């Protein structure tokens, strides 16, 4: 197959690296998704062979696995846990009919991406991860760490020039305000001190070694020689490398390229921008925590891109649930069996329906929406008040222990509620389609404020006329779209025109004026529940 995706690229699956592991989220998901147990059973045979321990016993035993404990006591287990969680998340998504157009990984996550694309078996993926740890441990004198700086890559390089240490390096470029530095521990202390004098925030990264630094160059040949002995197979999915800044090609010798990862930086922000520019609009983080999904939200801010985590806990809930709901709603995953699949095709095997829905589900949904809108306009009827929809996976700031580094000293607004509450019933307004009585703005503003406050579980008084929904309240664009859809359904507004831009309506006042204009132009509607 061609290594580059077709022009129809829509969905990118991303695999995290250092810190990309949430033990509690993985345990919860394992209770409901058999793919997790299946993946880790395959990994157990290899870790038992290499370390005399089953990774499943480490992660799912009586003692709950914590990333910090794994790093302190079993560095190999921390790396295998990150790899295994990413692969398990991918298997869950695939089983739900979610088919990515492209895969990409952050550092260690590139190994997971290549395995998911079929380049190596799951077992050989563990061997590659284990060998990566082993060759670094055999390099005497590699005593280093990684630190995230709240600065651009350009400013960070200028800061490193002040130290003038050849083993220091920019390891990852996460977004315009976050760069990770890797190097000897003692030298990094000087970097952090200088950063403090310049008011640049700096926070330690949870990692066992200083990856992506010249200090690891001696370990690369031994690693490449080991991987070269493994069975390399053709990719069945395109894989884009943030390190190489290109797609892997059929003739690539993966052993040599993976060895280059030891010393070359991860240009994650540039990779996300490239994928976005070539059509990707949904980024799904296949793995633990929500580090990459948060970074994607930073890099793609202002666009319509969606950023969805999986094996992470948000508001006490497993993010995977909301992500699967969001993918189904977008036609990017198969509907749950027993629901639409059972209604439309009860005799069709689940895997066949999943493949069909992955390819054409979005077309079916769009057709149904168009037909329903036409039906409602022709009959003068409308839907009943909708209940709460699935929680969209809101992108929030990176956590201190995130694989790709936290967002130092960042201001974070309130997060949307984990589960939206049902909107209150609308008071009866002028008769539908009458156009003879204008809707009162003050009354409409009060109704919208109540709807937004209850859906987000915020106090009503924070929704002032000029309050910025995203900049001040932290309501991301995905949640805003969902809320505006509720408003449109509740008041019977016509479909939004193709030129509609969400960014134009970024305050409660502007939302109110938009809805008021639509009501007065097309006639105010009341909810079905209000009209009886």
310: three-class secondary structure by DSSP: coil
Same domain, 434 and 450: yes
Q: At what angle do helices 75-95 and 23-32 cross, to 10 degrees?
A: 40
Residues 173 and 271 in one domain: no
What DSSP state is assigned to residue 217? Answer: G
Q: What angle do CA 452, 489, 473 make, to 5 degrees?
A: 20
Please give the backbone phi and psi of residue 110, each rounded to the nearest 5 degrees, phi first.
Answer: -70, -30
Secondary structure, 3-state, 415-450: CCCCCCCCCCCCCCCCCCCCCCCCCCHHHHHHHHHH
Measured between alpha carbons, how far is 491 from 470 in angstroms, rounded to an integer? 24
The CATH number for 170's domain is: 3.30.70.250
Biggest distance spanned by C-alpha atoms of the chain: 83
Residue listed under structure tokens 């690229």: 9
Of 312, 329, 346, the position where a domain reaches its end is 329
Both structure tokens of 206: 């949870």
**6: which DSSP letter?**
P
231 class by beta-carbon count within 10 Å (0-12 exposed, 13-18 middle, 19+ buried): exposed
pLDDT at 164: 86
Q: CB pairs under 8 A, 24+ apart, for 370-379? A: 373/494, 373/495, 376/492, 377/494
State residue 37's pLDDT score: 94
Contact yes or no for 216/309 (Cβ under 8 A): no
* One domain for residues 134 and 37: yes
The answer to whether 133 and 75 have CB atoms below 8 angstroms apart is yes
Q: Would you say residue 184 lies in a domain?
A: yes
Identify the three-state secondary structure at position 34. Answer: helix
d(CA 398, CA 205): 12
Helix (H, G, I), strand (E, B) or coil at 258: helix
One domain for residues 287 and 316: yes
Q: Is residue 152 assigned to a domain? A: yes
The residue from 309, 329, 349 where one domain ends is 329
| 245 part of a folded domain | yes
> For 136, which DSSP code?
H
SS3 for 475-513 is CCHHHHHHHHHHHHHHHCCCCCCCCCCHHHCCEHHHHHH
Q: What's the total number of domains in the chain?
A: 3
Q: Say how far residue 418 (Cα) sits from the centre of its chain.
A: 16
State whether 116 and 251 are in the same domain. Answer: yes
Q: Please state whether beta strands 178-184 and 169-175 pair in parallel, antiparallel, or not at all (unpaired).
A: antiparallel
3-state SS assignment for residue 225: helix
The verdict on 273 and 124 lying in the same domain is: yes
How many other β-carbons are positioned within 10 Å of the β-carbon of residue 126? 28
**Residues 179 and 72 reside in one and the same domain:** no
Note whether residue 339 is domain-resident: no
Gyration radius of the chain over CA positions: 25
Query: Is residue 91 in a domain?
Result: yes
Q: How far apart are CA 129 and CA 112, in angstroms?
A: 9
In a domain, 303, yes or no: yes
Do residues 188 and 75 both lie within one domain? no
Same domain, 157 and 259: no
CATH number at residue 505: 1.10.1200.10
Domain enclosing residue 461, as ranges:
413-532
Measuring CA to CA, which residue among 125, 121, 110, 167 is closest to residue 142? 167
Residue 285 per-residue DSSP state: E
DSSP E strands, 47-122: 102-105
**CA–CA gap between residue 335 and residue 96 (Å, rounded):** 8
Q: Does residue 352 lie within any of the structural domains?
A: no
Question: Which CATH number does the domain housing residue 96 bear?
Answer: 3.40.366.10
Q: Are strands 144-149 and 202-204 parallel, antiparallel or unpaired?
A: antiparallel
88 assigned to some structural domain: yes
Helices (H) and strands (E) in the chain, counts: 20, 12
DSSP code for 61:
S
218 secondary structure, DSSP code:
G
Do 434 and 532 sit in the same domain of this protein? yes
d(CA 51, CA 356): 43
Q: Which of 302, 329, 356 is the last residue of a domain?
A: 329
Express each pLDDT in 163-173 by its tens digit. Answer: 888 889 999 99
Clarify whether residues 285 and 432 are in a common domain. Answer: no
pLDDT of residue 381: 58
In the predicted model, residues of the chain with pLDDT beneath 50 are 2, 6-7, 382-437, 498, 524-532
Shared domain for 127 and 171, answered yes or no, is no
């Amino acid at each position: 197959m061609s290594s580059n995706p077709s022009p129809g690229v829509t969905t990118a699956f991303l695999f995290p690296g250092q810190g990309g592991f949430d033990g509690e989220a993985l345990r919860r998901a394992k209770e409901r998704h058999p793919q997790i147990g299946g993946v880790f059973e395959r990994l157990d045979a290899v870790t038992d062979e290499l370390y005399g321990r089953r990774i499943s016993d480490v992660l799912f035993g009586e003692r709950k696995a914590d990333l910090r404990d794994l790093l302190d006591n079993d560095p190999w287990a921390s790396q295998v846990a990150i790899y295994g969680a990413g692969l398990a998340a991918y298997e869950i998504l695939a089983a739900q009919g979610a088919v990515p157009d492209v895969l990409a990984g952050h550092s260690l996550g590139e190994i997971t991406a290549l395995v998911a694309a079929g380049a190596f078996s799951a077992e050989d993926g563990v061997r590659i991860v284990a060998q990566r740890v082993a060759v670094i441990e055999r390099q005497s004198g590699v005593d280093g760490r990684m630190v995230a700086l709240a600065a651009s890559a350009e400013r960070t390089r200028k800061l490193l020039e002040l130290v003038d240490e050849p083993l220091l390096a920019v390891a990852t470029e996460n977004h315009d305000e976050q760069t990770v530095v890797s190097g000897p521990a003692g030298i990094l202390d000087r970097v952090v001190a200088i950063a403090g004098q310049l008011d640049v925030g700096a926070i330690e990264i949870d990692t066992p070694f200083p990856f992506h630094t010249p200090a690891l160059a001696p370990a690369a040949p031994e690693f490449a020689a080991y991987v070269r002995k493994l069975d390399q197979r053709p990719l069945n999915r395109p894989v884009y490398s943030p390190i190489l800044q290109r797609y892997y090609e059929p003739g690539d010798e993966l052993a040599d390229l993976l060895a280059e990862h030891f010393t070359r930086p991860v240009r994650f922000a540039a990779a996300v921008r490239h994928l976005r520019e070539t059509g990707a609009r949904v980024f799904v983080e296949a793995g633990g925590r929500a580090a990459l999904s948060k970074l994607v939200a930073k890099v793609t801010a202002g666009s319509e891109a969606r950023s969805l985590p999986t094996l992470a806990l948000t508001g006490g809930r497993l993010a995977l649930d909301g992500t699967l709901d969001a993918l189904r709603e977008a036609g990017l995953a198969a509907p749950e069996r027993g629901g639409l699949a059972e209604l439309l095709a009860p005799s069709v095997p689940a895997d066949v329906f999943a493949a069909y829905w992955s390819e054409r589900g979005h077309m079916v949904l769009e057709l149904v929406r168009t037909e329903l809108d036409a039906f409602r306009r022709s009959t003068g009827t409308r839907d009943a008040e909708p209940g709460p929809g699935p929680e969209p996976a809101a992108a929030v700031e990176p956590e201190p222990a995130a694989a790709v580094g936290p967002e130092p000293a960042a201001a974070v607004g309130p997060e949307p509620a984990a589960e939206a509450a049902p909107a209150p019933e609308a008071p009866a307004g002028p008769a539908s389609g009458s156009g003879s009585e204008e809707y009162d703005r003050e009354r409409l503003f009060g109704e919208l404020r109540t709807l937004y406050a209850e859906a987000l579980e915020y106090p009503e008084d924070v929704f002032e006329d000029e309050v910025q929904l995203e900049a001040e309240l932290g309501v991301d664009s995905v949640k805003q779209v969902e809320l505006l859809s509720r408003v449109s359904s509740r008041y019977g507004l016509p479909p939004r025109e193709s030129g509609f831009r969400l960014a134009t309506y970024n305050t409660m006042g502007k939302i109110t004026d938009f809805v008021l204009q639509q009501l007065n132009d097309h006639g105010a509607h009341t909810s079905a529940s209000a009209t009886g």
